A and B are shown apart, each in its own frame.
Chain A
Amino acid sequence: MSGGPSVRAGPEGAAERAAGTSGDSAQGAGRRGRPPAHPYFAGTDEEKARGLFQLVGEDGAAHPLVDAMPRALARDLYRGMVRIRVIDARMMALQRQGRIGFYGEALGQEAAVVGSAAATQPEDWLVPALREAGAGLYRGMPLDAYVAQIFGNDRDVSRGRQMPCHPCDRDTNYVVMSSCVASQIPHAVGIAHAMTVEGRGGRMCIGYMGDGGTSTSDFHAALNFAGVLQAPVVLACQNNQWAISTPGEAQTAAETIALKGLGYGLESLRVDGNDVMAVYVATRYAAQKARAGGGPTFLEFLTYRVSAHSSSDDPSRYRDETITEAWRTRRDPIQRARALLEGRGWLSPSEDDALWAELEEEIRAAVGVHERAGQPALDSLFEDVYEQPTWLLREQRELLNAKGA
């Protein structure tokens, strides 16, 4: 367990397992998984889908369940969130300076990203939407891989093929996100179904979408399939209340998004997405249930897109930024977690300062390396279209080389 001054990342929940509190084994969890000991979980399905599960209030006051959480895990979660914020801030600055082409930050949503990632295990798969790269980083995707992908350089394992914020890291079962909103969640169900077909239990897949994604036919198909197949999948919606310029109330007439999940027969939980502890506990419950053969769960993380949709967007054109300000300040997930940690003596102000400085240096160094790296070779255009290039690709490669000569 980490007790030193440096808050170590827990990419694979190592601290938690060391503390012996994960309870993530199929044997331990029982067929359906044990619901957390919290009044929210005693509610009916509909009460859960309409209510809101919260463990830590905006003032940092915590439910007793938090007392049982290891200090190291709490520090890991906090570190994971700060890391995303620092990376995002750096990347947005680079984008504004014209040094990278595009960026989609997770500002204000770090708790939903990190809390859910922390509840996964290395052998689980993660199918992200736009704002879950931090989940990949928390699970052990190297920062170098993330930054190389943003620059699309010759060190990028995706070989520069994707726009920024679309990393893929097969080593940590982190799948490249799809720009076709929500088309990735049927994949998540299929990946989970493959785990069933393979007959090797004890694994699950988590698939993410945003609130806009819940309007797509893919959302309907994925939730419906997840329910019918009883796939070991957790489908998590980051309801940040904005799909570019479209607010939640223009997206659906459903009272909550979690109620939609309930309509497909999925246990559906509505969670305060800015409370990293609640996100973690709810996701851990859903993940344990899936791994134990208890079927799928739908999670709605209620949060807010404090940032623009992406570097190409200016939200002041279409929304009241005074509302955003409340989410930026008193509802901020990092402030809330810091209040909790400091209140318990789990993090001192000087440790916090050191953490931010360390993470800023980490991203600064990575950018320094990857901005200077070379570009993918011209010939690589024709590779990985198929496992082996077809004659068509060989012909076109020759034509390109002839033109270049």
Chain B
Amino acid sequence: MATMTYREAIREAHREALSSDPRVFLMGEDVGRYGGVFAVSLGMAEEFGEERIRDTPLSEVGFVGAGVGAASAGMRPIVEVMTVNFSLLAMDQIVNGAATLRHMSGGQLSVPLVIRMATGAGKQVAAQHSHSFENWYAHVPGLRVAAPATVHDARFMLKAALADPDPVILFEHVLLYNMSGEVEELAGPVDLRRAAIRRAGDDVSLITYGGSLPKVLEAAEHLASGGIDAEVVDLRALRPLDLETILSSVRKTHRAVVVDEGWHTGSLAGEISARIAEDALYDLDAPVERICSAEAPVPYPHHLEQAALPKVDEIAAAAKRRVGSDG
């Protein structure tokens, strides 16, 4: 076991990929000499050269579009989009381009492109840096979407993404970069099809992903001290969802709370709730509850930003309501 930060784990994953496959290169804004705005690629330009750790002009359309082209021509590019907010400038390239080329060409083309982007709020950088649009991409056939929520997954998800013959989007929550954790050395790639049970329990399923996982685990500890045994499901894969793991947890606990930093309406949490209703309604002892973000652009002031986001006590309270033990 090695201890490292989430940021270091992603960096290690890049170093491994760049060392083992000459087709892999990283491009994006400030990823080279500067080392990335989240310092993920710090030192990599010196190690691998500026050709493979490529600073690009400031244009999401440009580097995502070039990534689509390079991937279709046989490379394994990794594109870093600074945040999901800015990825909307390249959404056509991702949705109409990367996601559709295999199908539209009858399988003649493939786009094995990995797009990494930071997501989420909590750093007081206001709406245009803080949104969570994972569900927008998780809506799109042709894309595989995943979110590492642990240091271990941060270390071994990139390998799986690069091995995938289709475009993969990896969402890195901004509040996780400094998180430390243990990494099993020599582990295999993360299975991008499988969710992970981060805490086993019998009373209620807390289903979440990405930056909300630490909050949910904290809520689960709080619940445990009050005698409620929560199971925590980390989705990992946002498209396609690991429905099997979600449903088997719900069938065991008979209660579900879905925690998702996206906005309530049209959220990934909504899709998960609908799936539970379609496939496991009669296993439920209580309605599904969703904890999502306030339906307003994420504000700058600390107290308003915190008020807008899913909170530990709110998650715990929802679980108690579902279990019926909130007095």
Contact call B69/A193, Cβ cutoff below 8 A: yes
**Any A CB within 8 A of the CB of B240:** yes
**Any A CB within 8 A of the CB of B110:** yes
**With a CB–CB cut-off of 8 A, which chain A residues contact B25?**
197
**With a CB–CB cut-off of 8 A, which chain B residues contact A387?**
102, 107, 110, 165-166
Which chain A residue shows the least CB distance to B111?
Answer: A187
Which chain B residue shows the least CB distance to A174?
Answer: B108
Contact call A125/B62, Cβ cutoff below 8 A: no
Among B62, B72, B92, the residue within 8 A (CB) of A225 is B62
Separation in Å of the B247 CB from the closest CB of chain A?
12
Residues 62-101 of B, flagged 1 when their CB comes within 8 A of A and 0 if not, give: 1111111111111101000000000001001100110001
Contact A158/B106 with A186-B66, A190-B66 known, Cβ cut-off 8 Å = yes
Which chain A residue shows the least CB distance to B144?
Answer: A386
**With a CB–CB cut-off of 8 A, which chain B residues contact A198?**
23, 74-75
Q: Which stretch from B9-17, B36-44, B53-61, B128-136 is at the chain A interface?
A: B53-61
Residues 130-171 of A, flagged 1 when their CB comes within 8 A of B and 0 if not, give: 000000000000000000000000001111111000101110
Separation in Å of the A290 CB from the closest CB of chain B?
15
Separation in Å of the A7 CB from the closest CB of chain B?
30
Contact call A391/B240, Cβ cutoff below 8 A: yes
Give the contacts of B281-326 with A (CB-CB under 8 A). none
Give the contacts of A367-405 with B (CB-CB under 8 A). 383-387, 390-393
**With a CB–CB cut-off of 8 A, which chain A residues contact B92?**
180, 183, 218
**Any B CB within 8 A of the CB of A69:** no
Contact call B106/A159, Cβ cutoff below 8 A: yes
**With a CB–CB cut-off of 8 A, which chain A residues contact B141?**
385, 393
Contact call B109/A175, Cβ cutoff below 8 A: yes
Separation in Å of the B169 CB from the closest CB of chain A?
14
Contact call B62/A176, Cβ cutoff below 8 A: no
Task: Give the interface residue-count category, chain A.
Answer: 35 or more
A166 to B51, CA, bound (A): 34
Contact call A194/B69, Cβ cutoff below 8 A: yes
A185 to B93, CA, bound (A): 11
**Any A CB within 8 A of the CB of B4:** no
Contact call B62/A186, Cβ cutoff below 8 A: yes
**Any B CB within 8 A of the CB of A19:** no
**With a CB–CB cut-off of 8 A, which chain A residues contact B65?**
183, 185-187, 189-190, 218, 221-222, 225
Contact call B62/A224, Cβ cutoff below 8 A: yes
Contact A191/B69 with A176-B109, A385-B103, A386-B166 known, Cβ cut-off 8 Å = yes
Residues 22-57 of B, flagged 1 when their CB comes within 8 A of A and 0 if not, give: 010100000000000000000000000001100011
Contact call B104/A194, Cβ cutoff below 8 A: no
A190 to B52, CA, bound (A): 14
Which chain A residue shows the least CB distance to B237?
Answer: A390
Among A166, A176, A194, A224, the residue within 8 A (CB) of B74 is A194
Give the contacts of B122-175 with A (CB-CB under 8 A). 141-142, 144, 165-166
Q: What are 9 A-B pairs with beta-carbon distances under 8 A?
A: A160-B106, A162-B104, A176-B101, A186-B69, A190-B65, A192-B69, A197-B75, A225-B65, A386-B166
Other 16 A-B pairs with CB < 8 A, given A194-B69, A218-B65: A162-B104, A168-B104, A168-B108, A175-B72, A183-B97, A188-B69, A194-B70, A194-B75, A221-B62, A225-B62, A225-B63, A228-B56, A384-B103, A385-B103, A386-B142, A386-B166
